[in-house]
Structures are given as structure tokens and as C-alpha cells.
């Protein structure tokens, strides 16, 4: 048939994932083995522990992905893998597995940038049309990415310090929540009120950059001060106040970028794109831009997964940008 089946790998952080994706649009399988439980007692991801888990999980993930998709190696047209950015030891496991499968089965190997993968998760909702703007929010990155055409990514704004997800995880820890805290803070925020009015850093600056470390410090100071005077603060109100500050800044800079760059689509992607407060707020803001389609990565593809890697790889597959057996992990890979 003319369908292209790509076996894709993702192992950049704490999820081991293997997927089979058809034509960059249809997920035939997406197996995700999460290691979160192993990292929780350390309050964050321990690189050495992550690498070991990837090694233990990856072959079973390949078998499950092929079985669930009901395909055999002979049915595949390519192999794809995240080769950066991420933890070097974690990335190396996926890269080595992908190279091995590609070599053994004589398949082309498509190298994928993890952040581009996050953006292409949007394609499970709607085909990307160019020019597009992406608000890319994850545990390691917070950026506004302009995509003038397929395969071109231009960062027009980014965080000067913490990523949005990182800020969620850090304030969550102060609230006694387990890692990663984003989803739970989001849930609490929907119950509480913005009573603390935390600072909105850089909200009015003449650029598309973000900053979340001041907000994080203000939050931590508020909690510590209350502790010292023996006062108990509402977790729900703290969460709502924090989330409102994050969402205000992300939404304001996104609107500013949409005014500066006429695009066909706004894409929301990355782990923090699962945030309901952010999704709702951007739905509201996008009413000002009837000519811009708002494309949200489906909830189950916001966090790290290999299906998004298979979606992005289809672009490289069509353009025949293949890697050879020299492909190496690049922990600080940029667009
Ligand atoms: O993209 P991702 O899975 O991994 C990275 O590439 O970083 O993003 C993980 C981040 C974590 O910081 C997690 O707390 C955050 O996404 N996150 C959320 C929500 N769900 C996950 N943050 C806010 N609201 C959520 N609902
Ligand atoms: Zn990610």
C-alpha cells in the first residue's frame, strides 16, 4: 500500500515510549512505560535511574507497540527517534535501540528533535498549516516558536529562567505535592480563587520572553512567611493564584505574538499544554483572531510519548532527511 508506517522511539526523560504511526497522522499504537514512581521519592528525575529503567523497558515496549498495532517489522517503512534535547544517558537508550532496529531490518532512520515532536502532537487533532505559531510549554522549555514552513522553527520568545512546568513542579513541592505536580496544581486551582495576586513578570515588556523565577520566589516566600507565623493558607487559593499568574503571562505574550505575526494556526503543545486553565484562557483569547485556528495537542499526547515523534518524523521521511549509524544523542539540541 502507499501508507507509511513509522516505528518511533522516545526516551529523553522519564517515559520509555514506542509507537507505530501511519502517515504522520494516525496512531496505531503508543506504548508508554512511565518511571514516575521511581523518581517521586527523590522529588525529581534522577538521570542514572532514568537510563536504567529505559534499558529495562525498551524491548518490551517495542514488542507491545508492534503487537498493538498488529504489524510486523516487514510492514514498517522507517524508524524514528528523539535524539535531543534531554538527558544524555536516557536519550542514548532510544537512539541505540532505534539504530539497531533500522540496521537489522534495513529501514531508514529519521532523527527527531523532541520539541518539534511536541509541536507535531497537534497533528493528531488537525493537520498543521503554515505559517503557524506554537506556544510550547513543558518541564524544560517555554517558548513561542514561529513555523514559516514545514521543517523551519524560529524561536521568537522564550523563558529567561525557569520553564513553566518546572515552576509548577517546584511550587508543588513546597505545597507537599508529589512530582510532577502540574496536574494536581491545575485541579486545585479550579477549586480556589486568585487571592494572593502574585507578580506577572515581564508581562508588559516589549518582547515575547517569559520569566517564572520571580513568581516562584514570591510563592515560596508567601508559604514560608505563613509557616513562621503559624498561619495555614488555602492550598486551593495558592494554586489558583499561581496558575492565574502563569496563564496571564503565557496568554498575554501569545496574543502579542499573534498580533505581530499573521499565522494560520496557533498550536498549543508540551506537557503544560494539558493545563485546563491555559486551554480555556486561550480558547477565550483566540476569539479576537477569527482567522487563526487554535489547535491544541490532544490531552493524551501533551506529555512525552513516541506517537508525537512518529508524527514529526513523517516530515523528515518525506524530505528523506535520514541519519546513519553515526547518529548520537545531543542533550542540548536546539531547533
Ligand atoms: O513535556 P513533558 O511531559 O516533559 C518535558 O519534556 O519536560 O512536560 C512535563 C511537565 C511537568 O513539569 C508537569 O508538571 C507539567 O508538564 N504538567 C502540567 C500539567 N500536566 C503536566 N503543568 C500544568 N498543568 C497540567 N495539567
Ligand atoms: Zn517533553
The one-digit pLDDT tens for each residue of the chain (335 residues) are 589 999 999 999 999 999 999 999 999 999 999 988 888 888 889 899 999 999 999 999 999 999 999 999 999 999 999 999 999 999 999 999 999 999 999 999 999 999 999 999 999 999 999 999 999 999 999 999 999 999 999 999 999 999 999 999 999 999 999 999 999 999 999 999 999 999 999 988 999 999 999 999 999 999 999 999 999 999 999 999 999 999 999 999 999 999 999 999 999 999 999 999 999 999 999 999 999 999 999 999 999 999 999 999 999 999 999 999 999 999 999 99
Q: Whose CA is nearest to atom 10 of ligand 1?
A: 139
Cis peptide leading into 119, omega within 30 of 0?
no
Cis peptide leading into 85, omega within 30 of 0?
yes
CA pair distance 54, 91, nearest whole angstrom = 9
Kindly state which CATH superfamily the domain 127-296 is placed in: ATPase, nucleotide binding domain (3.30.420.40)
E-only strand ranges, 75-124: 78-84, 109-113
Ligand closest to 278 (CA) is 1
Per DSSP, what are the bridge partners of residue 16? 33
Q: How far is the CA of 118 from the centre of ligand 2 (A)?
A: 7
241 among annotated binding-site residues: no
- Contact residues of ligand 1, CB 6 A cut-off: 13, 138-140, 165, 168-169, 180-183, 186, 270-272, 274-275, 303-304
- Residue to mutate, 122, 143, 180, 281, ligand 1, most ligand atoms under 8 Å from C-beta: 180
CA pair distance 266, 325, nearest whole angstrom = 36
What are the start and end residues of each CATH 3.30.420.40 domain in the chain?
Answer: 5-119+302-318, 127-296
Ligand 1: which atom is nearest the Cα of residue 181? 14
247 among annotated binding-site residues: no
Ion ligand 2, residues whose Cβ is below 5 A away: 138, 304
186 among annotated binding-site residues: yes
Please tell us whether the domain made up of 5-119+302-318 is placed in CATH 3.40.50.300. no
Cis peptide leading into 83, omega within 30 of 0?
no
For the whole prediction, is pTM greater than 0.80?
yes
Amino acid at each position: 500500500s502507499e501508507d507509511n508506517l513509522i516505528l518511533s522511539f522516545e526516551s529523553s526523560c522519564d517515559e520509555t515510549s514506542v509507537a507505530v504511526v501511519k502517515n504522520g497522522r494516525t496512531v496505531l499504537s503508543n506504548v508508554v512505560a512511565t518511571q514516575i514512581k521511581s523518581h517521586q521519592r527523590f522529588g525529581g528525575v534522577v538521570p542514572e535511574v532514568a537510563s536504567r529503567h529505559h534499558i529495562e523497558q525498551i524491548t518490551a515496549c517495542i514488542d507491545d507497540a508492534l503487537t498493538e498495532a498488529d504489524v510486523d517489522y516487514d510492514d514498517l517503512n522507517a524508524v524514528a527517534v528523539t535524539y535531543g534535547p534531554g538527558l544524555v544517558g536516557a536519550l542514548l537508550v532510544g537512539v541505540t535501540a532505534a539504530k539497531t532496529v533500522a540496521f537489522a531490518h534495513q529501514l531508514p532512520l529519521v532523527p527527531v528533535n523532541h520539541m518539534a515532536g511536541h509541536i507535531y502532537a497537534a497533528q493528531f487533532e488537525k493537520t498543521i498549516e503554515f505559517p503557524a505559531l506554537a506556544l510550547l510549554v513543558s518541564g524544560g522549555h517555554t517558548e513561542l516558536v514561529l513555523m514559516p514552513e514545514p521543517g523551519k522553527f524560529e524561536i521568537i520568545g522564550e523563558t529567561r529562567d525557569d520553564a513553566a512546568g518546572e515552576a509548577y513542579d517546584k511550587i508543588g513541592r513546597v505545597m507537599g505535592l508529589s512530582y510532577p505536580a502540574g496536574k494536581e496544581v491545575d485541579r486545585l486551582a479550579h477549586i480556589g480563587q486568585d487571592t494572593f495576586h502574585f507578580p506577572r513578570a515581564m508581562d508588559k515588556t516589549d518582547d515575547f520572553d517569559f520569566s517564572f523565577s520571580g513568581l516562584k520566589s514570591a510563592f515560596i516566600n508567601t508559604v514560608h512567611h505563613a509557616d513562621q507565623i503559624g498561619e495555614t493558607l488555602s492550598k486551593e487559593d495558592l494554586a489558583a493564584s499561581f496558575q492565574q499568574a502563569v496563564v496571564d503571562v503565557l496568554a498575554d505574550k501569545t496574543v502579542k505574538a499573534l498580533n505581530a505575526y499573521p499565522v494560520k494556526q496557533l498550536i498549543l503543545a508540551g506537557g503544560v499544554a494539558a493545563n485546563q486553565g491555559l486551554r480555556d484562557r486561550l480558547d477565550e483569547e483566540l476569539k479576537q483572531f477569527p482567522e487563526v485556528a487554535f489547535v491544541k495537542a490532544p490531552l493524551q499526547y501533551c506529555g512525552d510519548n513516541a506517537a508525537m515523534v512518529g508524527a514529526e518524523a513523517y516530515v523528515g521521511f518525506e524530505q528523506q532527511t535520514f541519519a546513519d549509524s553515526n547518529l548520537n544523542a545531543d542533550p542540548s539540541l536546539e531547533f
